[in-house]
Amino acid sequence: MWRDALLVAGKDIRIELRSRVALWQVLPFAVLVLVLFGFALGPGPKALRVAAPGLYWLAVLFSTVLATQRSMAIESGEGTRDGLRLSGIDPAGVFLGKAAAVAIQLVAVQVLLGAGIVVLFDVHVQTWWLALAASVLATIGLSAAGVLYGALSAGLRVRETLLPLLVLPIVAPVLISGSRAWSAAVSGAVASGASWLKILGPFAAVYLAVGVALYGPLQEVA
């Protein structure tokens, strides 16, 4: 299963590196969202600084939707899904691999967004480890939930409109706890921030487990 996951993740990342869709579309989109938030909230630095953690995570959520759509679009080519199934790769491995590939893209998005809120919104993170831990756990949860729902809506003609409706409410807990943890990391309130990891952790674990268990039946569907 783990070897299969590595293979699938490697394949997805290689496709991304060659096609550059993530590089030229998802990353600029994330930055664009930040700039648009700046327009919406006005130039006052105080409001921006307070809202920055929430805006950061909202931008991450939107990028997750794009990245999962992209991850499924890779498999939508003629016979690609059948090829993947025929290759004898464990469905759980496919799930983990695709989730890992999405997670790597999300890490890239988050590095850029983190730099973005520091530069554009003048945010100074005080407790780095808290922000990092929240990001890592949230990334795992987001990519697992995203890939699971991506597979669910793969092959549907209406997937572009359906996927956000399905994914965004599911990942609402990540938005809540991620922004709270980051707010705490910015203000240095470690204790209250660390408690939010107790939601991010189980979220990631639950969606990884559900994905490993249910990806098989889903793959047969399309």
Q: Which residues bind other proteins (CB under 8 A)?
A: 145, 148-149, 152-153, 156-158, 162, 165-166, 169-170, 172-173, 176-177, 180, 192, 195-196, 199, 202-203, 206, 210, 214, 217-218, 220-222
Cα within 13 Å of Cα(155), Cβ side: 13
C-beta atoms surrounding 69 within 10 Å: 19
CB of 68 to other proteins, least distance (A): 14
The number of angstroms, rounded, from the C-alpha of 121 to the middle of its chain's C-alpha atoms is 22
CB of 48 to other proteins, least distance (A): 20
Number of H helices, E strands in the chain: 10, 0
Check residue 154 and report its DSSP letter.
Answer: T
The number of angstroms, rounded, from the C-alpha of 114 to the middle of its chain's C-alpha atoms is 14
What is each CA distance from 33 to 11, 27, 89, in whole angstroms?
29, 10, 37
Choice between 71 and 177, CB closer to other proteins: 177
CB of 161 to other proteins, least distance (A): 9
Pair 117, 56: CB distance under 8 Å: yes
Choice between 38 and 143, CB closer to other proteins: 143
CB of 46 to other proteins, least distance (A): 19
CB of 84 to other proteins, least distance (A): 17
Choice between 27 and 167, CB closer to other proteins: 167
C-beta atoms surrounding 127 within 10 Å: 19
Choice between 47 and 206, CB closer to other proteins: 206
Choice between 66 and 154, CB closer to other proteins: 154
